[in-house]
Amino acid sequence: MKNLKFAFLLLATIVMVGCGEDKKEEKESIKLEAPSETSAVSTSTDEPVAANGEIVEVSISGNDQMQFNKNEIRVKAGQTVRLTLNHVGEMSEKVMGHNWVLLKKGTDIPEFGNAAASASENNYIPKGTNNVIANTEMIGGGESVTIEFQVPEKGSYDFICSFPGHYALMKGKFIVE
């Protein structure tokens, strides 16, 4: 009897493992399909010369460890950027909120960050500020947001997440060539 039970359990396990693999394969095939649709657009990122008004897709993600996955983004003058921010973590907007804020040259980041910290009701963007070129709204784990904006003149700009305390780690350079 014991052997029979064991054999049944073994069989059941094999069937379950088999099903699990099927599901995995399904998920992977879905994942593979999604990027192929945008690949035609994203290849334009590599073109050496940008035409005026060209839309360039940029994506950046933030995680639960308070990190962006990029500390540098390069674009070309004359382009329009379609930037997508993905929060790949699980924590809520209130605890580990992320946004993407592009600052004008000469902005004092700690000063801006401190002003932003007391602007929770305004997506942590100081009201009436003239230091922001473009920004997304604040998002939480699993969410994403896309914005479009005109690339500013050639130069090096700072981007940050303006959630309280995040700018120290979540920052990078936005370089316009």
Contacts with Co ion by CB under 5 A lie at 98, 161, 163, 166, 170
Give the distance between the most distant pair of CA atoms in the chain: 80
Residue with smaller CB distance to Co ion, 45 or 84: 84
In the bound state with Co ion, the residue whose beta carbon lies nearer, of 54 and 137, is: 137
- Closest distance between Co ion and the C-beta of residue 12, in Å? 45
Closest distance of CB 50 from Co ion, Å: 30
Shortest Cβ contact with Co ion: which residue?
161
Nearer to Co ion, 28 or 90 (CB): 90
Residue with Cβ nearer Co ion (125 or 170): 170
Determine contact, residues 133/160, Cβ cutoff 8 Å. no
The strand ranges marked E within 6-123 are 55-62, 72-75, 80-87, 101-103
Is the separation of the CB atoms in 60 and 36 below 8 Å?
no
Beta strands of 27-79 (E only): which ranges?
A: 55-62, 72-75
The distance of closest approach from Cβ of residue 145 to Co ion in the complex, given in angstroms and rounded to an integer, is 13
Phi-psi region of 123 (alpha: psi -120 to 50; beta: other; left: phi over 0): left
Query: Shortest Cβ distance from residue 166 to Co ion (Å)?
Result: 4
Beta bridge partners of 146: 84
